[in-house]
């Protein structure tokens, strides 16, 4: 068992639902107890979908467990087929159904339906949501395209002269973080260099569209978490190259265009100047100077975390103090990235571990998921959301991509917004006793309401972190404590920890004002 | 009409979303799967918590291998949790579908842990699985688990116990009304704090504030309490009859009831008049959700002039609903249980002006051109009593008004 306050991912059948809900003409029958239909409202409420996800649940109850739940599966399958007339039917189990082992997939296949029936294996006690989506998409594409696979050794026909290269965009799904707008942005990026988009899948594709996937020249793996298996398989079976760079951030977008250029033999030099992005100029303008060295903690899915790290380090001038992911399947990328920036990678799906690390690192900004917003609230640290899981406010009405040049604009605004503005930061440091602009007040551009939780968070947050408990044998002299309070609150936690570390190293029992400044000189900031 | 088929309802775990706000020193530990954890955070996670008061002990593959191991694991998790949150007064171990299918004995676990943490934390268990409970029945199961913990009311003493979660403001209003009527002491279950458990005994009169607390009521009865038959306190008519049931049982004159309630009733009727014009004559259908459907339909029909098309309820306790059913017109189509797709076919054929349904259906039905009122809000909002009668009507009038306002 694992104590879980918040979970970063849902169970794997949610991933299967995300694929089904992305597609047209594909229906999913889920063997699941009454109540598991809550998942529908992820789509209808959080993502504000206008249609119910194409999912039929068996919704068994206790009284049916004594009887024949297998019959219930069969009835649900035939009802779903009759009513929705799908082109493809997928059958899977939720966690409780996995325990009673009715083999719904095999049952459905034995019913002689005149359409492809795909049986999904979703190990709910070992795997999670992204794995479920990745696996479902892979099984679906493999199942539909297996008949088309050319003989081994046969090379794909070269592109006819004069025809623009065509790309599939693979990976965007329903409930994915900003998938809707990323697809639009990447489509524009590719159009600008003369590449057409052939099939976007699963988001918005039909079963027929999936059959047309091999007609394209190459695949763009936009979200490895949901599409890397599919892309690998298409590469192996159809010889379709995969573009693997994820274009989040200015640098990554340029690299992406380079890679597309290499794969297609197109000269992309003219498109690489980020003339459509204001982000490089905004970041260079003197107003952004105070962002230099802001200490940031990054956590999310691997793709967004790695992209965020590069943006922080190379495009915004932040200092990365922590980097991690909950996606174990992609931990290697994050470890490598963490090594590049000289931080200890945090690979965990345990919310409490992330919370402990954040408390220990005392960042000035957290970039994370909806879950890191809880942590940031507790620690009183500004926070912006960079990755799923997200809630309703991160499915915005406005155009809000993360990818491409416009994505970089969106990212600049979103990440800088929660920070206190430069002038205010200066004044708070200079004058400490202002009744309106003081430590515990929220940055004034965030409004008064947002600050209500702040004072309590500050009291309970940094003062009780485990890191500090271990230094309890070191005493702070009263005037040193006073002096510490003159350090702006967003770096105070770090200053306290550094001073205590310094005192410990030097064998100092009582921290005085002198020790505080000695430590400051020792560590630099 | 009774139906069986696909059901679009929450399981009892959803009750935790409001129970953890009501009982302020309680913590709810669900023993279940990642699905259970995901349900809870999807429902409550839009609020940002510095210190959440619910969590899930997620079962992994190795837990499914053997039961003895599971108990040790649970002990470890409870120790971790109580270490992190020393302020917890009562810990509920909440059973789920997976924990029930593998027959993990949470009652035994609660007993064992109670002994281990004796004097510090009270540890109770109940099941809120989808196999056994539908949405608000989760509250019933939770309160049912509290009943054996209630201290005994001394013989000869009498008291009134109001059962069912009420918003604090409504609870205070009712407490004032009972005081003016001369009924005392009055206690509420659940209490706001588990250190203040209400007493229970043969002198206790139980008044149900919510229609879904049948098992709790029967457990109180088993300890000698008497259940008062009354409609539920929605609207002027329901609230008055509900108060009157208590007053009569307490032996209070009808004139006193009239005198005490008159000002509030006048106020409520003035408030209701604002919305009656918008609601009168409109046709409404309820899909099953919380068991509040029948009392609310009664209020909307009798006090707001709405026409009832279909009233669906997940579960119909004829005994506890008797007084409500008497007030419903014979013409209403009453359905218990659900076969979702067939019910939606009926709904599309009926084309009511307003449909009360869950969030999984609301937006898709709006997109089809039906106006909807999402039902969960009725469990989260102050809707009981005289002074909330107009607010309750407004919850139904608002989507209609909005539909008329929007030009986009």
Residue A150 lies inside a defined structural domain of this protein: no
Please spell the DSSP secondary structure of B167-192, one letter per residue.
Answer: -HHHHHHHHHHHHHHT---EEEES-S
Residue of chain A with shortest Cα separation from B135: A35
Q: How confident is the model at residue A525 (pLDDT cuts 50, 70, 90)?
A: low
**Are β-strands A196-201 and A218-221 bridged in parallel, bridged antiparallel, or unpaired?**
unpaired
Alpha carbon of B54: minimum distance to chain A alpha carbons (Å):
7
CA A466 to chain B, closest CA, distance in angstroms equals: 11
Q: List chain B residues with CB under 8 Å of A11.
A: 33-35, 38
Beta-strand runs (E) in B267-408: 283-286, 307-313, 333-337, 354-357, 372-374
Number of cross-chain residue pairs from A and B with Cβ atoms under 8 Å apart: 190
Same domain, A418 and A285: yes
What is the pLDDT averaged over residues A189-211?
Answer: 95
Residues A202 and A336 reside in one and the same domain: no
Does residue A444 form part of some domain?
no
Asked if the Cβ–Cβ distance from B364 to A52 is below 8 Å, we say yes
Q: Is A323 annotated as a binding residue?
A: no
Q: Residue B124: what are its φ and ψ, rounded to 5°? A: -120, 170
Please state the φ and ψ torsions of residue A47, each to the nearest 5 degrees.
Answer: -95, 0
Domain boundary among A129, A147, A174: A129
* B46 contacts A391? CB cut-off 8 A: yes
A248 and A305 belong to one structural domain: no
Per-residue pLDDT 10s for chain B (408 aa) are 899 899 999 999 999 988 988 898 999 999 999 999 999 988 776 665 767 789 999 999 888 877 668 889 999 999 999 998 888 999 999 999 999 999 999 999 999 999 999 989 999 999 999 999 999 999 999 999 999 999 999 988 999 999 999 999 999 999 999 999 999 999 999 999 887 899 999 999 999 999 999 999 999 999 999 999 999 999 999 999 999 999 999 999 999 999 999 999 999 999 999 899 999 999 999 999 999 999 999 999 999 999 999 999 999 999 999 999 999 998 899 999 999 999 999 999 999 999 999 999 999 999 999 999 999 889 888 999 999 999 999 999 999 999 999 988
A295 in the same domain as A234? no
- Reported as a single tens digit per residue, the pLDDT across A227-274 is 999 999 999 999 999 999 999 999 999 999 999 999 999 888 876 665
Q: Is A105 a known ligand-binding residue?
A: no
Indicate which of A33, A35, A78, A358 best probes the interface with B, i.e. most B CBs within 10 Å of its own CB. A35
| Judgement on whether residues A309 and A413 belong to the same structural domain of the protein | yes
B41/A7 CB distance under 8 A: yes
CB contact at 8 A, A87 and A121: no
Q: Which positions in chain B touch A42 (Cβ < 8 Å)? A: 42
My answer on whether A253 and A288 are in the same domain is no
Cβ atoms of residues B101 and A39 within 8 Å: no
CB-CB neighbors (< 8 A) of A3 in chain B? 55-57, 77, 80-81
Q: In the structure encoding, which two tokens stand for residue B280, read together?
A: 């009168």
Using CB atoms within 10 A of its CB, is residue A116 exposed (0-12), middle (13-18) or buried (19+)?
middle
The beta-carbon neighbor of B45 closest among A40, A378, A391 is A391
User: Is A61 within 8 Å of B8 when comparing Cβ atoms?
Assistant: no
Report yes or no on A452 lying in a domain. no
Asked if A373 lies within 8 A of B362 by C-beta distance, the reply is: no
Is residue A231 a contact partner of residue A219, using CB atoms and an 8 Å limit? yes
Quote the pLDDT of residue B273.
92
**How far away is chain A from the Cα of B236, in angstroms, using its nearest Cα?**
33
**Contact in structure between A102 and A60 (CB atoms under 8 Å):** no
Q: What is the pTM of this model?
A: 0.90
Number of domains into which chain A is organized: 4
End-to-end CA distance of chain B, in Å? 39
Edge-to-edge order in the sheet of strand B372-374? B2-3, B333-337, B307-313, B283-286, B354-357, B372-374
In terms of pLDDT, which residue wins out, A123 or A443?
A: A123
Q: Chain B partners of A457 at a C-beta cutoff of 8 Å?
A: 50
> Does A287 qualify as catalytic in the annotation?
yes
ipTM above 0.85, yes or no: yes
Domain residues for A101? 12-129
Give a yes or no: residue A446 inside a domain.
no
Query: Domain holding A500: CATH number?
Result: 1.10.8.550
Give the closest residue to A326 by CA, choosing from A309, A359, A343, A303: A303
Given A68, A79, A267, A287, which residue is catalytic? A287
A301 within domain boundaries: yes
User: Higher model confidence: residue A440 or residue A352?
Assistant: A352
Instruction: Write b or e for each residue in A28-45: b if 16 or more Cβ atoms lie within 10 A of its Cβ, otherwise e.
Output: bbbbbbbbbbbbbbbbbb
Which of B363, B369, B376 is the best residue to mutate to test the A interface, defined by the most A CB atoms within 10 Å of its own CB?
A: B363
Residue A456 pLDDT greater than 70, yes or no: no
In chain B, whose CA is at the least distance from the CA of A15? B35
Shortest Cα distance, chain B CAs vs residue A140, angstroms: 23
- Residue whose token pair is 């789920």: B96
Measured between alpha carbons, how far is A372 from A375 in angstroms, rounded to an integer?
5
Annotated ligand binding at A473? The verdict is: no
B-chain residues near A393 (CB < 8 A): 46
- Give the C-alpha separation, B28 to B14, whole Å: 11
Helices (H), A290-361: 302-310, 331-340, 351-361
Residue numbers in B near A100 (CB within 8 A): 101
In a domain, A7, yes or no: no
Of A227, A254, A271, which closes a domain? A271
CB contact under 8 A, A44 and B359: yes
Confidence band (pLDDT; 50, 70, 90) for A313?
very high
Same domain, A266 and A296: no
Q: Are residues A115 and A252 in the same domain?
A: no
CA terminus-to-terminus distance, chain A: 42
Q: Cα distance from A249 to chain B (closest Cα, Å)?
A: 28
Rounded to 5°, angle at Cα A442 from A437 and A447: 100
Query: Is the alpha carbon torsion for B3, B6, B8, B13 positive or negative?
Result: positive
Burial group, residue B202, by CB count within 10 angstroms (0-12, 13-18, 19+) = middle
Alpha helices in A146-291 (DSSP H): 179-192, 207-211, 224-238, 250-264, 279-284
* Record: contact B50-A56, CB cut-off 8 A: no
Q: Which helix (H) or strand (E) covers residue B56, if one does?
A: strand B54-58
User: CA of A41 to nearest chain B CA: how many angstroms apart?
Assistant: 4
Contact assignment for A48 to B363 by CB distance below 8 Å: yes
Per-residue pLDDT, averaged over A81-100, amounts to: 94
Domain final residue, candidates A271, A287, A311: A271
Residue range A71-82: mean pLDDT, rounded: 94
Q: Which candidate from B51, B55, B360 shows the least CB-CB separation from A52? A: B360
Residue A437 has pLDDT above 70, yes or no: no
CB contact under 8 A, A1 and B8: no
Residues with Cβ within 8 Å of residue B248, at least 6 apart in sequence: none
CATH number at residue A35: 3.40.50.1980
Across the interface, whether the CB atoms of B101 and A65 are under 8 A apart is answered yes
Nearest chain A alpha carbon to B360: A41
Q: Which residues of A touch B100 (CB under 8 A)?
A: 62
Chain A partners within 8 Å of B63 (Cβ): 1, 125
Q: How far, in whole angstroms, is CA B169 from its chain's centroid?
A: 16
- A250/A289 same-domain check: no
The closest CB to that of A33, out of B41, B48, B97, belongs to B97
Q: Which residues of A touch B39 (CB under 8 A)?
A: 35, 38
3-state secondary structure of A171: coil
For residue A255, being part of any structural domain is answered with yes
Shortest CB distance from B34 goes to which of A37, A65, A124?
A124
**Is the Cβ pair A7, B38 closer than 8 Å?**
yes
Residue B43 has a pLDDT of: 79
- The tokens describing B216, both together, are 């709790």
Nearest to B41 among A6, A39, A65 (CB): A6
Mean pLDDT of A74-96: 95
Determine, for residues B50 and A377 on separate chains, whether the beta-carbon distance falls below 8 Å: yes
pLDDT-derived band at A423, boundaries 50, 70, 90: low
Structural Rg of chain B based on CA atoms: 22
Nearest by CB: B35 against A11, A59, A76: A11
Q: Looking at the structure, do residues A357 and A419 belong to the same domain, yes or no?
A: yes
Which chain B residues have a beta carbon less than 8 Å from that of A62? 100, 129, 131-132
The pLDDT of residue A274: 57
CA distance B384 to chain A (A): 27
Look at residue A157 and tell me if it is in a domain. no
Reported for A79-85, long-range contacts at CB under 8 A and 24+ positions apart, including other chains, are A79/B341, A80/A27, A80/A29, A80/A56, A81/A27, A81/A113, A81/A115, A83/B341, A84/A27, A84/A54, A84/A56
**Are B60 and A2 within 8 A, CB to CB?**
yes
What is the nearest CA distance from B55 to chain A, expressed in angstroms?
4
Residues A308, A423, single domain; the answer is yes
Q: What percent of chain A has pLDDT over 70?
A: 89
B396 or A161: which carries more pLDDT confidence?
A: B396
A299 with A196, same domain: the answer is: no
CB contact under 8 A, A457 and B363: no
Please, is A454 exposed, middle or buried when counting C-beta atoms within 10 Å of its C-beta (0-12, 13-18, 19+)?
A: middle
Residue A160 pLDDT:
81
């Amino acid at each position: 068992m694992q104590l879980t306050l918040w979970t970063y991912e849902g169970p794997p059948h949610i991933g299967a639902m995300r694929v089904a809900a992305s597609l047209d003409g594909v229906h999913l029958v889920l063997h699941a107890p009454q109540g598991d239909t809550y998942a529908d409202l992820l789509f209808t409420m959080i993502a504000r979908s206008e249609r119910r996800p194409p999912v039929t649940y068996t919704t068994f109850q206790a009284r049916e467990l004594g009887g024949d739940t297998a019959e219930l599966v069969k009835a649900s399958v035939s009802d779903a087929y009759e009513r929705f007339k799908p082109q493809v039917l997928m059958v899977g189990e939720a966690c409780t159904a996995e325990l009673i082992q009715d083999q719904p997939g095999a049952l459905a296949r034995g019913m002689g339906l005149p359409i492809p029936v795909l049986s999904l294996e979703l190990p709910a006690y070992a795997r999670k949501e992204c794995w479920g989506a990745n696996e479902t998409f892979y099984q679906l594409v493999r199942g539909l395209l297996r008949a088309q696979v050319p003989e081994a050794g046969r090379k794909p026909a070269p592109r006819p002269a004069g025809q623009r290269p065509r790309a599939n965009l693979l990976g965007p799904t329903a409930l994915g973080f900003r998938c809707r707008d990323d697809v639009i942005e990447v489509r524009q990026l590719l159009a600008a260099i003369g590449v057409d988009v052939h099939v976007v899948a699963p988001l918005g594709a039909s079963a027929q569209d999936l059959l047309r996937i091999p007609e394209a020249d190459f695949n763009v793996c936009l979200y490895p978490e949901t599409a890397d298996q599919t892309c690998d398989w298409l590469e192996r079976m159809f010889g379709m190259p995969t573009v693997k760079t994820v274009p989040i951030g200015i640098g990554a977008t340029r690299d992406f265009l380079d890679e597309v250029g290499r794969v297609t033999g197109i000269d992309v030099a003219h498109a690489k100047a980020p003339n459509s992005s204001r982000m490089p100029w905004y970041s260079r303008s003197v107003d952004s100077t105070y962002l230099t060295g802001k200490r940031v903690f990054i956590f999310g899915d691997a793709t967004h975390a790695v992209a965020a790290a590069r943006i922080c380090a190379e495009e915004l001038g932040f200092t990365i103090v922590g980097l991690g992911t909950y996606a174990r399947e992609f931990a290697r990328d994050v470890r490598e990235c963490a090594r590049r920036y000289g931080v200890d990678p945090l690979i965990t799906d345990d919310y409490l571990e992330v919370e402990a690390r954040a408390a220990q690192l005392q960042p000035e900004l957290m970039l994370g998921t909806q879950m890191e917003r809880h942590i940031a609230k507790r620690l009183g640290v500004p926070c912006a959301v960079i990755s799923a899981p997200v809630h309703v406010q991160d499915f915005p009405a406005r155009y809000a991509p993360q990818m491409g040049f416009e994505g970089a604009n969106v990212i600049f605004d979103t990440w800088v917004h929660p920070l206190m503005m430069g002038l205010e930061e200066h004044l708070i440091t200079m004058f400490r006793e202002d009744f309106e602009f003081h430590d515990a007040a929220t940055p004034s551009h965030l409004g008064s309401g947002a600050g209500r939780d702040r004072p309590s968070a500050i009291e309970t947050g940094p003062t009780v972190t485990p890191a500090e408990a271990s230094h309890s044998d070191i005493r702070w002299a009263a005037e040193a404590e006073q002096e510490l309070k003159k350090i702006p609150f967003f770096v105070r936690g770090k200053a306290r920890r550094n001073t205590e570390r310094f005192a410990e190293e030097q064998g100092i029992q009582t921290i005085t004002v002198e020790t505080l400044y000695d430590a400051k000189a020792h560590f630099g900031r | 009409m009774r139906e069986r088929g696909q059901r679009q309802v929450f399981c009892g775990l959803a009750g935790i979303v409001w129970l953890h706000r009501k009982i302020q020193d309680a913590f709810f530990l669900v023993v279940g799967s990642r699905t259970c954890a995901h349900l809870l955070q999807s429902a409550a996670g839009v609020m940002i918590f510095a210190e959440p008061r619910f969590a899930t002990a997620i079962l992994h593959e190795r837990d499914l291998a053997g039961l003895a191991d599971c108990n040790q694991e649970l002990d470890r998790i409870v120790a971790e949790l109580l270490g992190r949150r020393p302020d917890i007064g009562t810990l509920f171990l909440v059973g789920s579908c997976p924990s029930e299918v593998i027959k993990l004995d949470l009652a035994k676990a609660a007993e064992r842990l109670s002994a281990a943490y004796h004097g510090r934390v009270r540890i109770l268990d109940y099941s809120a699985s989808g196999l056994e409970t539908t949405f608000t029945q989760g509250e019933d199961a939770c309160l049912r688990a509290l009943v054996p913990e209630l201290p005994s009311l001394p013989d000869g003493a009498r008291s009134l116990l109001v059962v069912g979660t009420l918003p604090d403001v409504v609870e205070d209003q009712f407490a004032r009304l009972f005081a003016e009527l001369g009924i005392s002491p009055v206690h509420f279950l659940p209490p706001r704090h588990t250190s203040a458990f209400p007493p229970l005994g043969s002198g206790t009169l139980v008044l149900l504030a919510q229609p879904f607390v049948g098992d709790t009521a029967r457990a109180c009865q088993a300890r000698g309490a008497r259940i008062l038959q009354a409609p539920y306190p929605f609207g002027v008519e329901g609230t008055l009859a509900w108060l009157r049931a208590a007053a009569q049982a307490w032996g209070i004159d009808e004139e006193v009831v009239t005198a005490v309630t008159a000002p509030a009733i006048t106020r409520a009727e003035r408030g209701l008049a604002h919305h009656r014009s918008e609601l009168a004559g409109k046709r409404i259908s309820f899909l099953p959700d919380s068991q509040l459907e029948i009392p609310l339909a009664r209020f909307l029909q009798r006090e707001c002039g709405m026409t009832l098309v279909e009233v669906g309820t997940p579960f119909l306790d004829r005994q506890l609903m008797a007084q409500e059913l008497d007030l419903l017109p014979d013409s209403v189509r009453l359905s218990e249980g659900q076969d979702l797709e067939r019910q939606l076919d009926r709904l599309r054929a009926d084309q009511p002006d307003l449909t009360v349904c869950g969030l999984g259906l609301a937006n898709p039905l709006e997109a089809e051109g039906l106006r909807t009122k999402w039902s969960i809000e009725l469990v989260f909002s102050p809707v009981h009593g005289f002074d909330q009668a107009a607010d309750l009507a407004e919850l139904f009038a608002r989507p209609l008004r909005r539909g008329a306002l929007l030009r986009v």
